[in-house]
A = this chain, B = another copy of it.
């Protein structure tokens, strides 16, 4: 992220012991987890991100990433899963740590108390299957305004805190994940057509990432897809073969510099 030439370091008068040596100068932290939860609506070719509407200050009324503070005895990853499970029910998902945003002044609550607590956000990146992602606070809850919903990446509103930056960072990660790893299969149904896969890729990576026929040839040559023999008809047109991802065939390719694009 950062690259410097000839930096001028701050002079350290007393490096001292890192543990409780000068406890008054240490920052006090509250650690939260924020999730960038992506999904792909392949029917409408939209890349979606899940946002929640804040009820409290700061940023009451703003949309933000679903997050939580980490509890005693809870790992960061567990906190990420918990937040996710509080907002959405899914069968398949992929989750990994994204980045840690912890500079001072990223949360207005810090400035309210002099020498106040620092809010550190460990962000997680998730990809869920849109078809079976069930929002726990549904859109139709009487007259109260919608508190959780999917936003298309094209129409993300102003977000609370530095969450817009986190979303952008997440999108970059999503693109490279698709290119270098088989995440897509975590999020597709068990069996899928090559067109389903292609739609997923082109929705995330943009229209001009590859020609369908070349994409098809490359994927089949990799040998990581089993043809189930079954076919599916969707509207008019020739029925499509249903494939299944073969983890055993993929295993030896793991960590190899293979491209799905």
Binding site for B on A (CB under 8 A): 1-7, 9-10, 12, 15, 17-19, 25-27, 29-32, 55-56, 67-78, 81-82, 84-86, 91-97, 99-100, 102-104, 115, 118, 120, 122, 179, 183, 186, 257, 259
Q: Quick check: A31 and B31 within 8 Å, CB to CB?
A: yes
Chain B residue at minimal CB-CB distance from A103: B75
Partner of A82, one of B3, B12, B67, B259: B12
Q: Quick check: B6 and A120 within 8 Å, CB to CB?
A: no
Residues of B within 8 A of A18 (CB): 32, 67-69
Chain B residue at minimal CB-CB distance from A116: B72
Cα distance A116–B209 in the bound complex, in angstroms: 50
Q: Quick check: A1 and B85 within 8 Å, CB to CB?
A: no
Chain B residue at minimal CB-CB distance from A181: B3
Cα distance A106–B73 in the bound complex, in angstroms: 11
Partner of A17, one of B56, B73, B76, B100: B56
Q: Quick check: A7 and B77 within 8 Å, CB to CB?
A: no
Q: Quick check: B78 and A102 within 8 Å, CB to CB?
A: no
Interchain residue pairs with CB less than 8 A apart (20): A1-B97, A3-B94, A4-B95, A6-B91, A9-B85, A10-B85, A12-B82, A15-B86, A17-B55, A18-B32, A26-B72, A27-B72, A27-B73, A29-B70, A31-B118, A75-B103, A75-B104, A97-B100, A100-B122, A102-B122
